[in-house]
Each structure stands twice: as structure tokens, then as C-alpha cells.
Structure 1
């Protein structure tokens, strides 16, 4: 039987996300669900020289009561250039930066209108670079949800990852300082560890 996981779509998901879906063969997404504030749908965390920094994608409208697929990015703010500059500042000296950065730079240059589409494109690239051959698709209303593992609404910024059952930090090389910073954006792992990233994700799956 195919291992399916119902999951939320995040912006440059963190390591807990990839640990949670590590054994999935299919990821099922739900574009018609309502947008929730204080979620990972439009934010991620990266490691800067002396702190952890948050990258947030601005969206149109205040507290929009819309489905996720209808959330539009606010391009009146120069967010794409800010994010690219932030990523460059954080990881420009990382071992695998020059190999992976062009993939993401290309997506940002497309000025994608929908945040859903942007996140979908970025996750597709991240899974490819990780070497995780999981399929991504949208939920079909005729499907039986009981036949898939449903982790929607669980991976949220307001609750520490240590209180959930998916991610156990596995340390790896990071730039800036000696203290390991767990559960950052997948960008941190990819730029710092390159082809070794997948094995580190697998080692970080919480044992039960």
C-alpha cells in the first residue's frame, strides 16, 4: 500500500517537515483550506551571523479569509530581493551555495502571483535536491482520508518541535558559531551539507 501523508504546504519547510514526511511515497495537499495566520505558509527561519532570522513573504490583504490557493503575494514590497539578499548573506560562504542557489534564484525571478504556487515550486526543488522521490499532488474529494496519515495543522511555529513526535535534531556543519541551531529552513541543511542532506534528514526522524 502506498504511504500517503496529508500535510500543509510551507515556505522553504524546516527540518521537522522533512523528518515527518521522510517515509512518504505521496504527499497530499489541500489548496482549498483556509489561510491561517501564524503558520509556516509564508515564513521560514535561516541562520545569520549572530542570530536566527525570519524570512516572511508579504501577502495581499489583512487577515484574508481566503483559501490557500487564492492568497496572493504582495509585490508592492521588495520582498524577493530582500529574501535573496538574506539567503546570500547567510549562506554565500557555505560549501554548496553556488550549486544550489541558482535553482531558487530562478523561481524568485518568475514573480509568481500565488503564494501556493511559489511554495509548490520551491518544495519541488527541495525534494529534488534532497533526492527524495516522493510525489506531490492535490487532494481529491473522493478520497478516504482515513487511508492516509494526516499531519495537517500539527507543524506550527507556536509549539516547539520537541513537543511533537517527528523530529530529533541531528547536528551537522553550520556556519557562524559553535552552537548547533536545530530545525531551521531546509536551505540551511542543503547549503551546508549538500548531497549528505538526505541522510541527515533520515537520522533526524524521531525514534519511537
Structure 2
């Protein structure tokens, strides 16, 4: 069993651990942290690394808010902006057209809670990559667990030193290879073969 925090179209580092886990457990009781992968991901566009950030409502008090209770701020059309950014960046990639119809509903559905978005992105990637990993949700937060703990992968500053093998990217001739982008970058470039880049080699 492996413990993860649900994140927005998670970085490749997180999926490299997910596909090698027999069972995935999602942490539902952690405190929300700003500037983490909980509400953001990075893609590759013609100008280089691009941030896609989901705006969230922050509590008026200074008290901490659990990620599962974090509300999405839907005043700005962030879903339209994110989907347009993905189309602009990847419309000419080998596999974008293959997945775009299944991807579109995530940007059409109105969400209230951030965690619902993150779970839906996980379900989309799981289906796209035909992952067999089942997942459960925690009911309480604990600092000690019998599971392998990968919750730190939600922290942008706490990424593993090992790198997934390089693959061809849309604009690597202009900017060079950019590692550990959103899983979408690998999916749109490699399609079903993305699994071979994520699997740990003996």
C-alpha cells in the first residue's frame, strides 16, 4: 500500500510511484498548503514551462483548512483558460486528439471542492493508461503509517532526485528537455507507451 495526496494532473514523479504500487491510498485529511501540486501543474508550451493554477478560496481566519474542505474559486473562467492552454501546447502532439474527448468533461463540469477535481484527474489518467491500481481514502490523518509514504510528492520543493527517462517533447528543440512536468505531457507525447517510461527498471 502506498499513501499519496491527490494532486492536479499530478507530476510524472507521482505517477512513477503510483503505477508501481499494488494499492493507492489517498490522504484526505492533510492541511492545504499553498504553492503545491494540490492545485497546480506544469505543462510545456512554446515559451517553456507553463503553470496551470486552480484558484481556491482561502479562509478568512488564520486557521488551517484541510485540503478536502478547500473550495474552488470559480469567479474566473480558469477551466476555459486551462483547456485552451492545453490545446495550444499539445494540439500537434502525437496523442492529444486521442484523449481530448475524454479529457474535456473535467473542464466542463462545475466543481465545488478541489479534491473532487484531483480525484477526477486521477480517474482520467488511470483509464488512459489502463492502470489497475485500486484506491482508497483515509479517514484520519496520521504521521505514522504502515503504508509507503509518498505524501511529500505533493510538495513542489520535495521531489525525488531520480529522473524518469527522457522522452521527446513538443518544444525540446527550443528549450531542451524539461523533467517532471504534469503526467499530461508524457501522455500526449507517448500515449499508451507512457507506461514504459514510468515503470521502474530492475
TM-score where L is the length of structure 1: 0.87
Unaligned runs of 5+ in 1: none
| Secondary structure at the counterpart of residue 56 of structure 2 | coil
Residue 59 of structure 1 corresponds to which residue in structure 2? Answer: 56
CA contact (8 A) 1:12 1:123 kept: yes
Question: Where do 4+ consecutive residues of structure 1 move more than 4 Å?
Answer: none
Q: CA deviation at 1:173?
A: 1.7
| Alignment of 1:188 onto 2:185 | yes
Q: CA deviation at 1:113?
A: 1.1
Q: CA deviation at 1:67?
A: 1.2
- RMSD of aligned C-alpha atoms? 2.2
In 1: Cα distance, 2:18 partner to 2:8 partner? 15
Unaligned runs of 5+ in 2: none
In 1: Cα distance, 2:156 partner to 2:201 partner? 18
In 2: Cα distance, 1:92 partner to 1:99 partner? 10
| Alignment of 1:200 onto 2:197 | yes
| Secondary structure at the counterpart of residue 151 of structure 2 | coil
In 1: Cα distance, 2:37 partner to 2:201 partner? 21
In 2: Cα distance, 1:18 partner to 1:123 partner? 10
Residue 166 of structure 2 corresponds to which residue in structure 1? Answer: 171
TM-score where L is the length of structure 2: 0.89
Task: Evaluate the alpha carbon distance shift between residue 175 and residue 154 of structure 1 in structure 2; reply closer, same or farther with a 3 A threshold.
Answer: closer
Mapping for residues 45-194 of structure 1, pairs under 5 Å: 45-61=42-58, 65-141=64-140, 146-162=145-161, 167-178=162-173, 179-194=176-191
Q: CA deviation at 1:177?
A: 3.2
Q: CA deviation at 1:159?
A: 3.6
CA contact (8 A) 2:10 2:37 kept: yes
In 2: Cα distance, 1:31 partner to 1:129 partner? 24
Task: Evaluate the alpha carbon distance shift between residue 146 and residue 33 of structure 1 in structure 2; reply closer, same or farther with a 3 A threshold.
Answer: closer
